[in-house]
Amino acid sequence: MFFCFLPQFTLSYNFLVFCPLFAHSHHQFLAKIADTLTEAGHNVTFFAPILVREYENVKYLEYTKDIIYIQPDEELEKMGEAADYSNFWKEDAGMFSFVPAVQRFFKMFVKLNENLEKDLSVLDKLKDRNFDAMIFETLAFCAHPIHEYLGIKTIFPSFSMTHMTEISKAIGEPTSPSFLPTTVSPYAGQMTFKERLLNTLGDFIFTHILKPPSLKSFRGDKEYLDSNEIQAKAPFVFINSNTFLDFPRPMLAKTINIGGISVNVTQMRQEKLSSKYNEILNERSQTVLISFGSMIRSSEMPQEYKKTIVKVIESFPAVTFLWKYESENVEFSKKVKNLHFSKWFPQTALLADSRLTAFITHAGLGSVNELSYMGKPAILVPIFADQMRNAKMLARHNGSITLRREDLGVFENLRSAVNSILNDKR
């Protein structure tokens, strides 16, 4: 009996979670993995080089205490500051509009890699911890010289979105673009011939032209590290896809779908709303929350969209609207009575409250997961990256209506969608 119980006390591993801070949803995902392992009794080190300053002071980790930040040098800091997503309000939202953003991320990762190589003392300190395994996002290809230098034999490439063609290809999963939407594809489900063709073109561009560069080893021999070859040997790949929600596809058993890991339904239901929000929810019998997330700012949307949204809100005097808006200057709203602005809303608590009727959002994966766990109706207005795919994924289950970004400027389209989401029993 004694020996049977022994493993319980000894099977704890040393994990390194590598998470360069560059975009909110990516840290949230990796932090949740880190916390899950910490809670299970493992020793987790969260290694977070700062690329974009605004994420430095956001608390992502609850249980993992061992966090190592690295400050960016001046050049890297400038690259991080240059990130501007307001263009996505104006540019064509097709899948190729995301190409420059991906290229910018790549440049930051290459620069981070150079900085790490210049001063290897940070990594040398980590060496003593004898990590058993390292977890990182496959997008952050600068992870490879790190685990190679630290001599970490086991790696778990992960991805904070639903599906990445590259990693599937690396491990040997079929990814035919004729039926499977790529990571940032706006086409999915029942595709027309033209859509299949564009999806295939997108797949080609993202896997061949936007291929992450191979980086050199930090050891003396300066050998190039082939990301595909390395990732092919990974025992598991964790992705933010939920089997019930996502499009079906052929998968290997080493791909583990952990979509929804960041949604804690019990916790969402237990959250208490402050009296301020309680009063707001009691104002009228129906309430709608509008939020476009943290990267795409409502305050930066074209004036025409703002005016149309306000006009639609005015046309529903019996419904209260809450709008996450990042600026104090809301003159365009003409003091509409049934509209509340705020820079921040308790989103999860509101979504869990039965008095909230619907959510109008940008279809970020975090929100889409929360919506589906809560069964809350939504109007999804995807703006960029994987949001088009996420919107299609949720709409397939008939819980949401998808609008094009341009519809925010067309009164009839927006009004009719809001009317359906409030009144259509389906």
Residues that bind ligand NAG (CB under 6 A): 12, 14, 43, 66, 129, 264, 266-267, 270, 397-398
Question: What's the Rg (C-alpha) of the chain?
Answer: 23
- For ligand NAG, the closer CB: 123 or 232: 123
- For ligand NAG, the closer CB: 8 or 398: 398
Q: How far is the CB of 255 from ligand NAG (least distance, A)?
A: 21
Contact 97, 103 (CB under 8 A): no
Q: How far is the CB of 180 from ligand NAG (least distance, A)?
A: 19
- For ligand NAG, the closer CB: 190 or 275: 190
- For ligand NAG, the closer CB: 252 or 265: 265
- For ligand NAG, the closer CB: 129 or 355: 129
Q: What is the DSSP string of 49-76?
A: EBSSGGGTT----SS--EEEEE---HHH
CA distances from 229 to 133, 183, 205, 236, 305 (A): 17, 21, 20, 14, 47
- For ligand NAG, the closer CB: 254 or 397: 397
Whose structure tokens read 């004036």? 303
Q: How far is the CB of 131 from ligand NAG (least distance, A)?
A: 10
C-alpha torsion angle, residues 162, 164, 165, 166 (rounded to 10): -160
Q: How far is the CB of 261 from ligand NAG (least distance, A)?
A: 8
Q: How far is the CB of 129 from ligand NAG (least distance, A)?
A: 5
- For ligand NAG, the closer CB: 57 or 398: 398
Q: How far is the CB of 82 from ligand NAG (least distance, A)?
A: 35
Alpha helix (H) residue ranges in 333-423:
347-352, 365-374, 387-395, 411-423
Q: How is residue 197 written in tokens?
A: 């063709």
- For ligand NAG, the closer CB: 12 or 178: 12
- Tell whether the torsion through CA atoms of 399, 404, 406 and 411 is positive or negative: negative
> 222's torsion region: left (phi>0), alpha (psi -120 to 50) or beta?
left
Q: Which helix (H) or strand (E) covers residue 135, if one does?
A: strand 133-137
| Residue 179 backbone dihedrals phi, psi, to 5 degrees | -130, -15
Q: How far is the CB of 269 from ligand NAG (least distance, A)?
A: 9
Contact 18, 47 (CB under 8 A): yes
Question: What is the bridge-based pairing of β-strands 356-361 and 286-291?
Answer: parallel
Q: How far is the CB of 44 from ligand NAG (least distance, A)?
A: 9
